Chains A and B, each alone.
Chain A
């Protein structure tokens, strides 16, 4: 029930294209869904996040779509650029007061071809 399943494992997109990464979860107690971007040798960097009472959130070229009934959420990267080439992780958090526990998906390695 704590798992977050992420797909695809790897993704190759042409410059200017749309990158789509999907995640699914089982535990309805999750109350926060962030996406992280990680470059080789660096720590994960928070990209964008959504709460379950919202179906979509957009920040620049990055959009999260959230389907509460299906227990799925996805990251869309519009106008993908070679600089977006990185590993992307979805995550889901369970919160209780000041306690937060993030469960991460397995990651998607995105390559954007020039």
Chain B
């Protein structure tokens, strides 16, 4: 158990809908990262938040957005969902202090768009 929690575990929704995925980082970790894992694209970095502020951005679609709240939990919002958005979405957390690089992944949310 990495200490990172994600809810829900599974989500089934229809095309065009909007969903919110939630992540709670490990105690003491200031950074939250979101990743998408699909069969055709592999594991892709989406976005990083550090202490409430966006720090790095990867291949995140404009239909997707994220935020990190004062209690450090994070939410990933996916809107206007398409069939191709079906994937596993992982959250990871890290301390992100000087010299600290380790990222610890949560169990993921499996999103199915029908």
A is bound by B:
yes
Are B43 and A34 interface neighbours, CB within 8 A? no
What's the dominant secondary structure at chain B's contact region? strand
Say yes or no: B105 contacts A95, CB within 8 Å.
no
Contact of B101 among A44, A49, A96, A106 (CB under 8 A): A49
B58 within 8 A of partner (CB): yes
Interface size of A in residues (CB-CB distance below 8 Å):
24
Chain B contact-residue range equals 20 to 34
| Stretch from B48-56, B67-75, B76-84 contacting the other chain | B48-56
Q: Does B45 make an interface contact (CB < 8 A)?
A: yes
A42: nearest chain-B partner, CB-CB = B107
Measuring CB to CB, which residues of chain B are less than 8 angstroms from any residue of chain A? 2, 4, 30-31, 33, 35, 42-45, 48, 50-51, 55-56, 58, 90, 92, 94, 96-97, 101-108
Report chain B residues within 8 Å CB of A55: none
In the bound complex, do residue B102 and residue A101 qualify as a contact, i.e. CB atoms below 8 Å apart? no
Nearest CB to that of A104 among chain B residues? B43
Q: Are A104 and B108 in contact (CB under 8 A)?
A: no
